[in-house]
Amino acid sequence: MSPPAQTLLAQPFLAIIGTRRADGSVQMNPAWFEYRDGCVWVNSHTRRSWPQNVLRDKAMSLLVLDRDDPDRWVRIDGRLVEASTVGADEHIDRLSRRYTGNPFRKLEPNEQRIMFKIEPLRITGENI
């Protein structure tokens, strides 16, 4: 990962997560993320469909755009290294503080969070 790409990923920009549905079509969703320890970490509610896609295929792509310079972006194609509900509540709280400066909202009854650790396999972009 180049230093300019790492600098971009250190900013609280939304990622667009691309996964593949069971029928082969592409699903894209905005998501909070963090880049640490050489991996990308994302978090979701287990009832959403895109986490099931990741668990099934063990892969996802992320696109992060610099909102101040649309000619600066990074795309990461990665593989699932780890998925866990353990620590996921604390992780979403950390992401919320990164993006909003505030703690994450109170979880809904029966809401289960899951976090994913994604290893970058291919990194492309512009001005990174």
pLDDT at 114: 97
Task: Please state, in angstroms and rounded to a whole number, the distance separating the CA atoms of residues 72 and 63.
Answer: 11
pLDDT at 128: 87
The model's confidence at residue 86, banded by pLDDT at 50, 70 and 90, is very high
**Number of domains comprising the chain:** 1
CATH value at residue 108: 2.30.110.10
The model's confidence at residue 56, banded by pLDDT at 50, 70 and 90, is very high
109 backbone dihedrals φ, ψ, rounded to 5°: -55, 135
Six-digit token pair at 7? 């600098």
Task: Please state, in angstroms and rounded to a whole number, the distance separating the CA atoms of residues 72 and 56.
Answer: 31
User: Which range marks the domain in which residue 71 is found?
Assistant: 3-126
Question: For residue 100, is pLDDT > 90?
Answer: yes
| Cα distances (Å, whole numbers) of residue 4 to 52, 69, 109 | 32, 13, 41
pLDDT at 121: 98
